[in-house]
Amino acid sequence: MEQETHLTVELFNQAEHGVVLIDLHHHIKVWNRWMEVQTQLPLSEVLAKPVKRVVSVDILPTKILDAITEVFQYEQPISFSTDDVCSYFFEIKPITISGQQYCLLEVFSDNNVSDSENPEPVKTVQDHELAVTAHLLEKISGMNKFAIPGLSVWQQEKSSASFSGDIILSAPRPSGGVNILIGDFVGRGLPAVIGALPVAEVFYGMTEKGFGLSDIIEEINKKLLFILPEGLFCAACLIELEHQGKMLAVWNGGLPDLLVIDQQANIKYRVPSSHIPLGVHGAEKIELETVFIEVNAGDTIFCSTDGAVNAEDAQGNRYGAAQMERALLQGDKISAIQQSLLAHIAGIEQRDDISLVELDIELVQNYEGNSSSNLRESNLAPASWQVDFDFSAQVLRSVDLVPLLVNVLMHIQAPHEHRQRIYTVLAEMCSNALDHGVLGLNSAIKQSAHGFAEYYALRGQRLAELTEGFIKVSLSHKPANDKGILMIRVEDSGKGFDYKQHTKDLAEIKTLCGRGEALLQNLCANYQYSGKGNIIQAEYHWMT
């Protein structure tokens, strides 16, 4: 919370107009650099002082005091201007930061005094803004520890004078697959980068912990609503490719259509924007829903920011989505669009940044990423302990169990180098319990032409309508010489299945085990079903 408050204050400090933040006691909490330059009063002389002490300066009339009182009392904004030769316009409005109420006073100069009469101080502020922006961009860049094979990105900034408002983030998921975010902030420079910092922190942190796309979107939206001033937001497209590389989940909020191009250079799927951008208002559950698309080796995913579609030539003609798609269908994908765009704009400075993103599905399917966590881990020597969970239908509808369970384990006892394998084991056991046990889904659906998309759509529908059912998870641990033994037991409320016949068929090679069962065989010392087939127990061994 302190970091977010600091960033908010820093954003006020970089404003090209006056910003004064006043608390309920009418004491000054923020006096930005513009105010220091215009009033010749340094921050040290006014911070935590009553605002009435500074109304005697030339640009603040005494009626400011009454306006502040009314804003606090009625929680409604007030604006007015002065009629002096050097006139100023004042906006006073209520604002909440970190749960505390404040009054935000903004001062605007009609004749741009800060630029004409005091050029040197303004230049210093601009230089400082560039330094802060560069520092934050370096921090964001340092969060990305992995190069995703098959991911191609081309970007062109509208101007070299400030930093881009477009961001591209990518990271491997702990159970396999990748997450990608393409973002386009309104504005650029420091405000855009300040917004990009929490977006990157949430995206990388929650991807690393294994959270689903909807959870990540919801948290990013909350962060942006907290940190960005009104009028700034982020149009974004988020992509999740699951561990087998066959199912793509897409959420598009404000960017041009995401396209899936097949091996014959045909548009196989199109995902238009169906959500509002992030940071505009609180997200309802319906606004977090993603589109599921079945993809195959040979398919290519393409997405861009609207700077590409709106790119103009010397006569002001837009490049347009139709021309972009024609270039795509030539078969050269991102390189064809890049050359076509550069020829169209012919060196003309653009109004917006341009970003193109391409993902080769086959290359990602062959990728085995290893995530690297900075999470706090327990240094506890192998010990005996047990923890039990009983998740109701209400919890199952809204909580992703696996990241929760893995993070509990990491904080109690499990070496970091085993995190991804333990995550995979828990993901397989919990998804089987939820999908086949509680929701009653049949994996045979996936075998049809559009089976994966049908399966995940049905899964989402049944999960949203779930009113009964449970999953019980027991995690226990015991030391054994130089290793620890983690025992996992998962029970669901489903009908179960004839696991004895299933085991017999496997032994006689009448049934091929799926990817999930093969993973359990390879990663666990042993696993077995019990009850009516609705209970599975597994042992995972790790060396100290």
Per-residue model confidence (pLDDT) at position 285: 56
pLDDT at 391: 95
What pLDDT is recorded for position 225? 86
What is residue 493's predicted lDDT score, i.e. its pLDDT? 94
Question: 305 and 175, same structural domain?
Answer: yes
**What is the extent of the structural domain holding 437?**
385-543
469 within a domain of the structure (yes/no):
yes
The CATH number assigned to the domain holding 145 equals 3.60.40.10
pLDDT score, position 10: 67
Tell me the CATH number at 398. 3.30.565.10
pLDDT of residue 374: 47
What is the predicted pLDDT for the residue at 299?
92
Same domain, 79 and 201: no
Q: Quick check: 232 and 308 in contact, CB under 8 A?
A: no
Distance of CA 466 to the CA centre of its chain: 27
Mark whether 486 and 391 lie in a shared domain: yes
Q: What is the pLDDT of residue 88?
A: 79
User: Does residue 377 belong to any structural domain of this protein?
Assistant: no
Has this prediction a pTM greater than 0.75?
A: no
Q: Which pLDDT does position 474 carry in this prediction?
A: 95
DSSP secondary-structure letter at 434? I
Q: How far, in Å, are 440, 481, 484 from residue 140 at the CA level?
A: 42, 43, 37
Q: Residue 119 domain-assigned?
A: no
Decide if 491 is inside a domain: yes
- Considering the domain architecture, whether residues 269 and 230 belong to the same structural domain is answered as yes
Q: Count other Cβ atoms within 10 Å, centred on residue 38.
A: 22
Please identify, among 113, 136, 152, the residue that sits at the C-terminal boundary of a domain.
113
Residues of the chain under the 70 pLDDT cut:
1-11, 56-58, 82-87, 98-99, 110-146, 157-164, 187-192, 230-231, 283-286, 331-332, 368-380, 414-417, 448-449, 505-516, 544
Residues 15 and 153 in one domain: no
Same domain, 345 and 443: no
Which of 303, 333, 366 finishes a domain? 366
**CATH code, domain with 83:** 3.30.450.20
pLDDT at 116: 40
Residue 101 lies in a domain: yes
Which residue bears the tokens 């016949």? 501
> Does residue 47 sit within a domain?
yes
**Same structural domain, 109 and 141:** no
Q: What is the pLDDT of residue 13?
A: 73
Strand ordering across the sheet containing 258-261: 151-156, 354-360, 300-304, 258-261, 267-271
* Same domain flag for 61 and 150: no
Exposure string of 514-532, with b = 16+ CB inside 10 Å and e = fewer, is eebbebbeebbeebebeee
Task: Quote the pLDDT of residue 375.
Answer: 45
Q: Domain total for the chain?
A: 3
Residue 529, pLDDT score: 92
Residues 171 and 79 in one domain: no
Domain co-membership, 501 together with 415: yes
Domain membership of residue 372 (yes or no) is: no
Same domain, 357 and 399: no
Q: Do 68 and 217 share a structural domain? A: no
Per-residue pLDDT, 120: 45
121: in domain: no
Distance, CA of 169 to CA of 208 (rounded, Å):
13
Residue 540 is encoded by which pair of tokens?
């995972």
